[in-house]
Amino acid sequence: ARAAGLDSDPATLQRFILTEQCKHPAASGDFSLLMSSIALACKATAVAVKKAGIAGLYGIEGVVNVQGEDQKKLDVIANDNFVNALLSSTKVAMLISEELPEPIVVPADRAGKYIVAFDPLDGSSNIECNVSIGSIFAIYERTTDLKTACDVEKDGLQAGTKLVAAGYCMYGAATVMVLCMGASVIASTLDPSLGEFIITNKDLRLPTPGKRIYSINEGNLKSMPAGVQAFVAECKDGAKPYSLRYVGSMVADVHRTLCYGGIFLYPATASSKSGKLRLLYEANPMAFLMEHAGGSASSGSCRILEVEPKGIHCRCPVIMGSPRDVDNVLAKMAAAGEC
Ligand code: P6P
């Protein structure tokens, strides 16, 4: 019998990815190596997040990032972790980061075939109060000739339907990696004693019909589409009242929705006509996961994955979660002539 607590055959995420790779004889192993570099970036960021208070990494770096937000030290560290790990994987052709105004295009002679769009530390306004935050990533294959450098428009602005894989790492009570490579959604938890993500669920799916939870920043409600306001009113006054759960950290709100069901919304508001969340490295990867887990993800006008990106930092309204709730919001928006 195995010694209690010691596992001589741990079901690591890396082993799962290699097993999946073996199912595709033509696979070169490039994707497996790419995923290892992303897992490394997440582990390094988890260490930095856990140590932030002690290492004095809280507080404002004094630099304002491309989003016009005060750039916190952890944001910078997380971005460096991802850029360095991805470039040294030798498998990427272009990197698009929430923290960088322009993409990083790898010279053709050193480029791989993948493009990664990522938010290295989403929810950073929650860092100082120790609310869960996370890294979000989206993986595409380049469409242009491998002998030439990536074209930002052609390769960088692909719709979410072209995604090869997407996932997030949530730095909460546990460090949890949720990943989909085109089939089921895989959940894994970091075992700090091993430094490995251990698989906890090989087919994470929203429960049906899903808990009656709605997740929205009601502070902006008055400026949101009438259909959304009608949905929120029904959540409060309807025959079956809903619970409101809003963390204000997308990774935490989406993870809860994947685990329990319900709906997460960041619709258009008066101040941001396309909502606040970014298409390439927030809305698309989360929509990819949500759909593969049996949920829905709409911009209000169409599936989020079908939205054509206008620019690498373009925004998109987000309505995602249990189909029962997403359909209800869309029906109310249609009744109000809003979609
Ligand atoms: P609000 C965090 O800053 C973030 O980008 C997402 O993680 C989160 O869902 C959203 O903004 C929260 O925005 O306007 O409700 O504070």
Report how far residue 220's alpha carbon sits from residue 13's, in angstroms, rounded to the nearest whole number: 39
Residue 59 above 70 pLDDT? no
* 48 CB neighbour count, 10 Å cutoff: 20
249 lines ligand 1 (CB under 6 A): yes
123 lines ligand 1 (CB under 6 A): yes
Spell 122-160 as b/e; 16+ CB within 10 A means b: bbbebbeeeebbbbbbbbbbbeeeeeebbbbeebbbbbb
The residue with tokens 């204000």 is 248
What confidence category does residue 2 fall into, taking pLDDT thresholds of 50, 70 and 90? very low
Residue 1 above 50 pLDDT? no
Beta carbons within 8 Å of 286's beta carbon, 6+ residues apart: 136, 166, 168, 250, 254, 297, 318, 320
305 lines ligand 1 (CB under 6 A): no
Report how far residue 313's alpha carbon sits from residue 279's, in angstroms, rounded to the nearest whole number: 7
Report how far residue 17's alpha carbon sits from residue 31's, in angstroms, rounded to the nearest whole number: 9
- Model confidence, pTM: 0.94
125 lines ligand 1 (CB under 6 A): yes
* ipTM attached to this prediction: 0.97
In this predicted model, which residue has the larger pLDDT, 63 or 183? 183
Query: What is the residue-averaged pLDDT of the chain?
Result: 92
Residue 75 above 70 pLDDT? yes
In this predicted model, which residue has the larger pLDDT, 100 or 8? 100
Q: Which residue has the least CA distance to atom 5 on ligand 1?
A: 123
Report pLDDT digits (tens) over 155-180: 999 999 999 999 999 999 999 999 99
How many Å lie between the centroid of ligand 1 and the Cα of residue 10?
Answer: 36
Exposed/middle/buried for 205, CB within 10 Å: 0-12, 13-18, 19+? middle
Q: Which residue has the least CA distance to atom 14 on ligand 1?
A: 217
Report pLDDT digits (tens) over 261-285: 999 999 999 888 999 999 999 999 9
Among 135, 247, 250, 286, which residue has the most ligand 1 atoms within 8 Å of its CB, making it the best to mutate? 250
